[in-house]
Amino acid sequence: MAGLTQTAIRRELSAAVSACASGLFETANAASFGIAISEFESWLVAIGQKYLPADCSQRDAEDLLGSLRVADLTLARACAAGQERAWEQFMARFRELLYDIALKISRESSQAKDLADSIYAELYGLNEREGERVSKLSYYMGRGSLEGWLRTVISQEFVNRYRSTKRLVSLEGEEEEGSQFAAPERIESAPADSRVEVAVAQGLSTLDPESRFILSAYYLDGRKLAEIGRMLGFHEATASRKLERITKALRKVVLEGLIQRGMTERQAEEALEADVRDFQVNVREALLQEKDVSTFKKRRS
Amino acid sequence: MQTADAAHPDADLLTAFVEQLLMPREREQLLAHLAVCPDCREVIGLVLPETPELVVQPAPKPAFWRWPVLRWGTVAASVVIIVGAVTVGLRERTGNKSVTEYIHVAVQKSGHSASTQPSAPGDTSRSNDVISENRSATGASGLKSAQIRYEKLPEDQKVAARAELDKLTMSPAPAARAEIGQAAMGNAVRDTSAMSKEELSRFAAERAPQQKSGWLVEPVDPHHALNAALPKPLEVSKESPLVSDVRGIPPPPPPPPPSSANEVVVVKQDEDKFAYSQNSALGGTAKKSATEHEVQALPAPQLQASSEVVASTARHTESKAKELRKDSDASGFVAGQSSDVFDMSQDWRIATDGELQRSPDKGKSWLPVMAAAKFRSLAVVGTEVWVGGAKRLLMHSIDAGQSWMNIVPKDKNVSLTGDVVSIRFADQKKGSVVTSSGETWTTEDGGQNWRKP
């Protein structure tokens, strides 16, 4: 079955690659880096295989391939292959930018320099894996811009470094480093009826992913609506209206769930309105305690 | 439902998510992960560009010229500015011109040059010199010198000379008078608020000789400013100070009928000889209604300037009067034209010796006003000043003392008698005057009309 799936993917993808490769090859200007079209097509197939679902159509494949940043992809792959001319272009475009990105993320010059140097080393392939020089640029798939990808990589590195540092900080370290490395705040929840918690968790499960993301970003991360809007690609006012609609819908679902669990309507309203903050606390706890296990990436055999 | 322990999306997917490049299904899956993964949410937050590139930009504001309000507002403002500039320019030109014209007329009448000898009939060369000289010295310094020369005339000649000139220059009187007064007094009427103490003393000393020279002789002669417009010198014959070269020229046409009942009678205190109506053009007699001020005009002048000059002067003064009437308040009193406006915060007082005084600096210093006259009562409403004194003396200024008019209240052929011992004005319109003879006169229109209850 998996083999048939692979064959199906290859057929639809192959057809899409055949249809798009020549045009994308010209757009990428890959020939200037000495890259053959066959090699270029292999890149496209690999990317398609990684991101296309099993039931994709040729149209889906063509849409995916058409959205790729093939010029950046070519540059990155040429750099990963060690081409000097490609590195010259990469350095001219991104050397200063790496430090600027690191500085904006870390907001501190020494950390920024450390981050930038670390990422630069990984990009250049100073690290060896199984005896081969591996450049981090080889993992770039062209789904977004190369600059955005670099920003994401640096952010991930920053989060990984300092989140692990936070986990390992001592009590004395907390006092010295201040709130940046302080332990996360403990959420104080009022001793609510367990039926409320269950109803809230049930209500959250009915929400669409975007609504849950909005609730998580707002209640758990404390992000502002403007930032949430930017994350999702709409205006702050839209984010505000969405949050209000989500909260009302969730409240309604929770009330219905409480009624189903034996409460009267009045009891259910009182359970939610006794302390408005409790409702938010319940939502936060429910968001943190999601248990269903499902991998994000489809594992391919 | 995903958990935070699930495999995190790679950098490409997170980047594509931030840049809105994911497929719809991919986006849903990523959002489901982001809802439960604080680390990935934090990465997304860090990756977001600082400028809200993903935010929908508001519609561009229309160019200002597309806004009707701004468009028409700009047009209206331009019109106002142009009209204001033209008006100011006209006033300045006509102001200077009127002063120059009056000097011209006076010189024409006198026929005298700067020398002390009267010129022969027809000899206009020296007159022209005087004219040009006076024209060039139209400013206050020229008027001041003419004023000083007039002082040297014998008293009997002064009276005649002044009467003749008053007839020419008075009508349509108040407007032109105020204008000439302003021109004559221009250099003496300055905004003294910024003066130092030394400057103020010099200023007062400069003015004092003028006011004590007889220009404002007792009783108060409001025509002192007009007198300053006399040419230099005025060496007139005993017959008439203004006889020589224009004898025989027919008198000017009678003045136009008065356009309004508003009249200001200017009275020479001692003999009531010189009473002029603002509506009498060039002398002549005008009979007024019973409720209006009685007008007494002098006999037609023996000596007249050329009728053309006089007529043009009359036309000019009439037009000027009309223009200035527009600027005046409803009472018909004409505002001064000088740009040297006293600070409206001045204080007024009558000293123990009856001298009217004005303070430009809230009482720190005091300057005499009409120092030759003595007053007993004072009332100030805004920029309007009323002062009264002996022998029916009642003076009114609407421009904080820059120009003055002598008022003689009359009602049904009955004039005010006695000394004006009390003046009260509730506002610019309603007021009352009490005399030493027990009379109380009231006005409802700022002094245009009076009634004796």
The pLDDT score that the predictor gives to residue B60 is 62
- Which H/E stretch holds residue B334? none
Q: Which of A142, A210, A290 sits opposite B3 (nearest CB)?
A: A290
Contact B342, B402 (CB under 8 A): yes
pLDDT surpasses 90 at A42: yes
d(CA B153, CA A77): 113
Give the C-alpha distances (Å, rounded to integers) separating A272 from A133, A197, A201, A203, A243: 59, 11, 14, 13, 18
Residue A133 β-bridge partners:
A128
pLDDT number for residue B290: 40
- Does A279 have pLDDT greater than 90? no
Nearest to B42 among A159, A205, A293 (CB): A159
In 10 A of CB A137, how many CB atoms?
A: 26
Give the pairing of strands B414-415 and A132-133.
Answer: unpaired
Q: Cβ(B259)–Cβ(B218) under 8 Å?
A: no
Minimal-distance CA residue of chain B relative to A147: B15
Are B1 and A152 within 8 A, CB to CB?
no
Burial B179-202 (b: 16+ CB within 10 A, else e): bbbbbbbbbbbbebeebeeeebee
DSSP designation for B276: B
CA distance A34 to chain B (A): 25
> How confident is chain B (453 residues) per 10-residue block, as mean pLDDT?
70 95 93 92 88 54 65 86 84 55 46 43 43 43 59 70 58 45 44 60 57 40 44 44 41 50 39 38 40 40 41 46 45 38 63 88 87 88 91 89 87 86 91 90 91 85
Type of residue at B4: A
* Adjacency order of strands within the sheet including B367-369: B347-350, B356-359, B367-369
Note whether A151 contacts B: Cβ–Cβ < 8 A. Answer: yes
- All residues of chain A having their beta carbon less than 8 Å from the beta carbon of residue B58 are none
Residue B236 CB contacts under 8 Å (≥ 6 apart), including other chains? B110, B112, B118, B153, B157, B160, B161, B242, B243
Distance between CA atoms of residues B49 and B69, nearest Å: 39
Paired with B368 in beta bridges are B357
Chain mean pLDDT for chain A: 82
More confident residue, B13 or A201: B13
Q: Does A158 touch chain B (CB under 8 A)?
A: yes
Would the CB atoms of A223 and B11 count as touching at under 8 Å? no
Measured distance CA(B317)–CA(B95) in Å, rounded: 10
Look-up: residue for tokens 């004796």?
B452
Rounded (to 5) percent helix, strand, coil in chain B: 40, 10, 50
Sign of CA dihedral A8, A12, A17, A18: positive
Dihedral over alpha carbons B39, B40, B46, B50 (to 10 degrees) = -140
Q: Which residue in B10, B19, B41 is closest to A217 by CB distance? A: B41
Q: What is the 3-state secondary structure (H, E, C) of chain A?
A: CHHHHHHHHHHHHHHHHHHHHHHHHHHHCHHHHCCCHHHHHHHHHHHHHHHCCCCCCHHHHHHHHHHCCHHHHHHHHHHHCCCHHHHHHHHHHHHHHHHHHHHHHHCCHHHHHHHHHHHHHHHHCCCEECCEECCHHHHCCCCCCHHHHHHHHHHHHHHHHHHHHHHHCCHHHHHHHHHHHCCCCCCCCCCCCHHHHHHHHHHHHCCCHHHHHHHHHHHHCCCCHHHHHHHHCCCHHHHHHHHHHHHHHHHHHHHHHHHHCCCCHHHHHHHHHCCHHHHHHHHHHHHHCCCCCCCCCCCCC
CB contact at 8 A, A226 and A218:
no
Distance from CA of B65 to the nearest CA of A (A): 30
d(CA B217, CA A151): 96
Please give the pLDDT value at position A199: 85
Q: Report the alpha-carbon distance of residue B16 to residue A74 in Å, rounded.
A: 17
pLDDT of residue B197: 63
Look at residues B279, B266, B270 and name the one whose alpha carbon lies nearest to residue B404: B266
What is the per-residue burial (b if ≥16 Cβ within 10 Å, else e) of A83-119? beebbebbeeebeeebbebbbebbeeeebbebbbeeb
Task: Find chain A residues with C-beta within 8 A of B47's C-beta.
Answer: 148, 151-152, 155
Q: Which of A149, A208, A233 is facing B54, going by the closest CB pair?
A: A233
By CA distance, what is B2's nearest residue in A? A294
Task: From residue A148, give the alpha-carbon distance in Å to each of A36, A81, A142, B47.
Answer: 26, 21, 10, 7
pLDDT band at A201 (very low <50, low <70, confident <90, very high): confident
Report the length, in residues, of chain A.
Answer: 301
- Listed in sequence order, the residues at least 6 apart from A254 whose beta carbon sits closer than 8 Å to its beta carbon are A196, A199, A200, A202, A203, A268, A272, A279
Q: Which residue of A has its CA nearest to B42?
A: A159
Task: Please give the radius of gyration of chain B, using alpha carbons only, rounded to the nearest integer.
Answer: 36
Residue contact A143–B54, C-beta within 8 A: no
B42–A292 C-beta distance less than 8 A = no
What pLDDT is stored for residue B371 in this prediction? 81
What does the CA dihedral B272, B278, B281, B287 come to, rounded to 10 degrees? -60
Torsion of CA A94, A97, A99, A105, to 10 degrees: -130
A212 touches chain B (CB under 8 A): yes
Interface residue B58 vs chain A (CB under 8 A): no
- Residue A155 pLDDT > 70: yes
- Higher model confidence: residue A301 or residue B346? B346
pLDDT recorded at residue A74? 96
Burial class for B315, CB neighbours closer than 10 Å (0-12, 13-18, 19+): exposed
Instruction: Tell me the β-bridge partners of B414.
Output: B411
The set of residues, in sequence order, having a beta carbon less than 8 Å from that of B29 and lying 6+ positions away, is: A209, A296
R_g of chain A computed on alpha carbons: 25
